[in-house]
C-alpha cells in the first residue's frame, strides 16, 4: 500500500505488518512514528504550520506542562524555521493545538503513572488529551513525529491516535563508573529517552572502578573513590528534576555486597578482608565484598542510604547484588564461623541474609529493593523487583514465584547486536507459559549501556538509534514486529533523535576528524558504513582495554548495526526477488567497485594518518568479497549454476571474512553469503 497520506488507514493491534513502504508516492506519516502507537487512524489532508500556529491549554496546567510545551515549540521552530508565539491563547478553542490535561498526575512518578493520551488532528486543529501531565508529554513527542513538509511548506499529518504503553517500566541503564559521563551527557540522553517514550533512567553509580556521587556523611567515598569525577548533590538534584520534567524516573544503583572496591578504598573497615584497597583499572569481577556478619556494616549502610534517599525520590533503589565472587567470604574464618552458626551452607544463603538486612534498611527509608538475578531467594518479600540479565527463563521463574521482574537479557548494547536482534527480544513473548497474574508481574525491560568501552564522545552512537527499536518493543503492542518496517522508521527516528539533542550522528564525524587529522573524512565515513565494532567480550579477548585505554580508535568509532549491513542485503534481495533485472545487478556492481576504490583511498589516507591502518585487514577481506560478488553476479546473469568447487571456496572465503578483522568485523558478510549461495543454487531459484 503506497501513499497512505492520501487515504484512510487504520492501524490497530495486529495491523502493523501491513505498514506501507516509503518509496514512491507521497510521504507516509506512519513511517515517522516510533514507538508505534497502540491505535492509529491516518487520513488525507493536512494541518498547516505557519506563523498563525498557537497553543491553548484547557483544564489543568502547571509549570511542568508549560515547560514541556515550550520545549516542543523550540524544536518545532528549529525544524520549520518559523517563529511561533510563545504565549497561550485564553480561548483554547481558537488554538491550533489544544492541550487538555485532567490533572497533574503523581507527585513522585511511579510505575502506576497514567501515560496514556489521545491525539486528534483535523485540518483546523490538533487536540491532545491526557489524564496526566506525563501522558501529555508522550503525546507531544508523537505530535512532533507527525510533522512533514512538501513544496507547499510544513504541516502535521491528520491522524486519530489512542495510545498507551504496553509496559510500565521502560528503562535505560547508564554506567558512569567504569568511564565517567558528565552531567551534560546524561541530560542530552534524557532528552533522547523522552523522545522515544522511555521512562526510567537506571543510574549505575558505584562500581569497582569508581564511586560517582558526593556523600556528605562519608566524604572519603568521592575523595578517594572517584578520581575527582563525581556528581555533587546539587547536580544529582538537577538531573532528577531534569528527568522528572520529561516524565522519566531516576533509579540509583549502588552495588553491594560485591562490585564494591570503590567503597572499600574509602572505608576498608567494612570489607570482608583487610585493606588497603585501590581503585581497579581493569574490567571484570573482583574480590572486594562487604562483610555481612558485622553490625557496623549495616549501620554504615543504613546511614548512607538514609542520607542518599533524600536525593532520589523514586520508590525504588537498586542494590546490584550480582557476581559476588565469595573469595573473601571463603577465606575469612570469622565469616565461616558465622555461616556455621547460622546454618548457612552456601554463600548464596549468606548473601540472602545480607539482602534481608538490606531490604529492612531500604524499607525504613521508604524504598523498595531492585537487584539483579542473583538476589532472587524465597526469603525475600514479594515486592522486590528482580532485574534479569540471565534471560527470559529466569524472568519467568521469578514471576512464577511471585516476584516482580524487568528484562535486560537481550538488551545489552555492548554486545553490539543489531537493532533487529534486540527488537526480537520480548519480555512477554507469545507462548510464554505465564498465567495472566504471573505475566502482570513482568513490569517491562531495561536497556543496558555498560561503560567499559564508552566515553562521552562515543556513548551516543552506541546508544542510538538502536535503543529506539527496543523502546518500541517496550511501548508498542507485541504485534508491532515487522523488522523491515522497523528499519524504515528507525532511519527517520534517528534524525528525530538528533533534533532532540542526541549526538550519535555528529559524534563519529568529530572522532574521525581527530583520528585522520583532516576534515576530508568521506572515505572513513564509507568505511563506517561497512564495518562494525566487536562485542565487548570479543574486544577484550583480542586486545584487553582498561579504564586508562584511550578509546579513540576506529573500533571505538565504528557503528553497531552499520547501515551497509541492511543496504547491501536489500540490493541482494532485490536481485533475487520475483523480478530480478539489470538495475539490481548494476547496483551491486557499483557497490563492489566502491569497495575496491575505498581500499585505495584508505591506503592513501594512512600515509598521513597511521591509525587508519587498523582497517587494513577488513579492507583486504572486503576486496576479496567484492571479487567473489562479481563472479556470483556473472553466474546469475548467465543463468548458470556455479560449480560446487567454486561455491565451496567462496563460502570458505565468506566464513573467513566473518571472523574479527583486528577490532572490527565486516557488516556485509550475511548479504554476501546469501548472494554466493544463490549463485550455487540456480536450479532451486
Residue 349, phi then psi, degrees to nearest 5: -70, -35
Q: Is 323 a catalytic residue?
A: yes
Which residue among 77, 162, 223, 323 is the active-site one?
323
Buried b (16+ CB within 10 A) or exposed e, 337-364: ebbeeeebeebeebbbbbbebbbebbee
- What nine digits make up the cell of 84? 511561533
Question: What single string gives the DSSP state of each residue in 294-336?
Answer: -HHHHHHHHHHHHHHTTT--SSEEE--------HHHHH-HHHH
Question: Pairing state of beta strands 97-101 and 126-130?
Answer: parallel
Phi-psi region of 321 (alpha: psi -120 to 50; beta: other; left: phi over 0): left
Output the CA torsion sign for 450, 453, 456, 460.
negative
Q: How far, in Å, CA of 413 to CA of 199, rounded?
A: 18
Q: Which residues contact 598 (CB under 8 A, 6 or more apart)?
A: 523, 526, 527, 530, 619, 622
530 closest CA partner among 402, 671, 433, 370: 671
Vertex 459 angle, CA 457 and 463, to 5°: 145
Rg of the chain over all Cα atoms, to the nearest angstrom: 27
Compute the C-alpha angle 413/440/468, nearest 5°.
Answer: 25
d(Cα 256, Cα 359) in Å, to the nearest integer?
Answer: 12
Report the distance separating Cα 199 and Cα 194, nearest Å: 7
Angle at which helices 233-245 and 183-195 cross, to 10°: 10
| Cβ–Cβ < 8 Å for 287, 337 | no
Distance between CA atoms of residues 498 and 664, nearest Å: 26
**Got the DSSP string for 449-471?**
E-STT--TTTHHHHHTTHHHHHH
d(CA 235, CA 607): 45
In 3D space, the residue among 401, 379, 396 whose CA is nearest the CA of residue 442 turns out to be 396
Catalytic residues: 323
Amino acid at each position: 500500500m503506497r501513499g497512505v497520506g492520501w487515504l484512510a488507514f487504520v492501524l490497530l493491534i495486529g495491523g502493523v505488518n501491513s505498514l506501507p513502504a516509503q518509496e514512491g508516492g507521497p510521504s507516509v506519516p506512519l513511517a515517522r512514528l516510533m514507538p508505534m502507537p497502540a491505535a492509529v487512524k491516518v487520513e488525507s489532508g493536512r494541518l498547516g504550520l505557519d506563523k498563525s500556529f498557537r497553543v491553548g491549554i484547557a483544564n489543568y496546567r502547571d509549570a511542568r506542562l508549560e515547560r514541556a510545551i515550550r520545549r516542543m515549540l523550540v524544536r518545532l521552530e528549529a525544524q520549520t524555521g518559523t517563529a511561533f508565539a510563545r504565549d497561550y491563547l485564553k480561548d483554547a478553542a481558537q488554538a491550533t493545538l489544544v492541550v487538555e490535561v485532567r490533572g497533574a498526575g503523581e507527585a513522585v512518578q511511579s510505575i502506576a503513572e497514567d501515560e496514556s493520551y489521545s491525539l486528534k488532528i483535523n485540518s483546523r486543529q490538533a487536540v491532545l488529551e491526557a489524564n496526566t501531565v506525563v501522558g501529555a508529554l508522550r503525546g507531544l513527542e508523537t505530535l512532533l513525529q507527525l510533522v512533514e513538509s512538501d513544496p507547499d511548506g510544513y504541516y502535521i499529518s491528520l491522524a486519530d491516535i489512542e495510545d498507551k504503553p504496553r509496559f510500565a517500566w521502560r528503562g535505560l541503564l547508564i554506567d558512569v563508573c567504569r568511564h565517567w559521563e558528565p552531567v551534560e551527557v546524561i541530560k542530552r540522553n534524557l532528552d533522547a529517552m523522552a523522545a522515544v517514550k522511555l521512562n526510567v533512567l537506571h543510574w549505575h553509580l558505584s562500581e569497582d572502578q569508581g564511586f560517582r556521587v558526593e556523600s556528605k556523611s562519608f566524604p572519603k567515598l568521592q575523595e578517594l573513590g572517584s578520581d575527582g569525577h563525581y556528581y555533587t548533590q546539587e547536580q544529582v538534584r538537577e538531573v532528577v528534576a531534569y528527568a522528572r520534567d520529561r516524565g522519566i524516573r531516576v533509579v540509583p544503583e549502588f552495588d553491594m555486597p560485591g562490585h564494591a572496591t570503590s567503597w572499600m578504598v574509602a572505608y576498608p573497615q567494612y570489607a570482608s578482608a583487610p585493606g588497603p584497597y585501590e581503585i581497579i583499572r581493569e574490567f571484570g569481577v573482583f574480590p572486594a565484598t562487604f562483610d555481612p556478619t558485622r553490625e557496623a556494616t549495616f549501620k554504615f549502610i543504613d546511614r548512607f542510604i538514609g542520607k542518599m534517599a533524600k536525593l532520589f525520590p523514586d520508590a525504588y533503589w537498586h542494590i546490584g547484588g550480582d557476581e559476588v565472587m565469595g573469595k573473601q567470604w571463603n577465606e575469612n574464618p570469622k565469616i565461616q564461623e558465622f555461616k556455621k552458626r547460622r546454618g548457612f551452607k552456601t554463600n548464596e544463603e549468606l548473601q540472602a541474609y545480607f539482602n534481608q538486612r538490606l531490604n529492612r534498611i531500604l524499607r525504613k527509608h521508604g524504598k523498595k529493593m531492585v537487584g539483579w538475578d542473583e538476589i532472587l531467594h524465597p526469603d525475600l518479600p514479594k515486592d522486590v523487583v528482580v532485574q534479569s540479565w540471565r534471560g527470559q527463563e529466569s524472568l519467568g521463574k521469578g514471576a512464577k514465584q511471585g516476584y516482580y521482574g524487568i528484562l535486560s537479557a537481550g538488551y545489552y548494547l555492548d554486545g553490539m547486536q543489531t537493532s533487529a536482534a534486540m527488537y526480537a527480544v520480548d519480555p512477554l513473548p507469545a507462548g510464554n507459559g505465564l498465567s495472566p497474574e504471573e505475566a502482570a508481574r513482568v513490569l517491562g525491560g531495561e536497556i543496558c549501556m555498560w561503560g567499559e568501552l564508552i566515553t562521552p564522545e562515543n556513548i551516543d552512537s552506541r546508544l542510538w538509534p538502536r535503543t529506539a527499536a527496543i523502546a518500541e518493543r517496550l511501548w508498542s503492542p507485541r504485534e508491532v514486529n515487522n523488522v523491515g518496517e522497523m528499519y524504515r522508521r528507525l532511519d527517520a527516528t534517528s534524525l528525530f533523535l538528533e533534533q532532540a539533542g542526541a549526538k550519535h550522528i555528529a559524534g563519529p564525524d568529530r572522532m574521525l576528524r581527530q583520528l585522520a587529522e583532516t576534515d576530508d573524512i568521506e572515505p572513513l565515513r564509507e568505511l563506517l558504513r561497512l564495518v562494525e565494532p566487536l562485542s565487548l567480550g570479543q574486544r577484550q579477548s583480542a586486545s584487553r582495554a582498561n579504564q586508562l585505554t584511550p578509546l579513540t580508535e576506529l573500533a571505538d568509532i565504528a557503528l553497531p548495526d552499520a547501515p551497509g549491513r541492511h543496504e547491501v542485503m536489500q540490493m541482494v534481495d532485490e536481485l533475487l526477488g520475483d523480478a530480478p533485472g539489470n538495475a539490481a545487478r548494476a547496483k551491486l556492481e557499483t557497490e563492489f567497485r566502491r569497495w575496491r576504490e575505498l581500499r585505495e583511498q584508505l591506503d592513501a589516507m594512512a600515509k598521513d594518518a597511521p591509525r587508519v591502518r587498523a582497517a587494513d585487514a577488513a579492507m583486504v577481506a572486503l576486496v576479496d568479497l567484492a571479487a567473489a560478488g562479481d563472479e556470483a553476479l556473472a553466474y546469475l546473469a548467465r543463468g548458470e549454476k556455479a560449480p560446487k568447487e567454486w561455491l565451496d571456496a567462496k563460502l570458505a572465503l565468506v566464513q573467513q571474512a566473518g571472523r574479527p578483522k583486528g577490532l572490527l568485523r565486516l557488516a556485509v558478510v550475511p548479504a554476501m553469503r546469501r548472494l554466493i549461495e544463490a549463485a550455487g543454487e540456480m536450479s532451486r531459484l
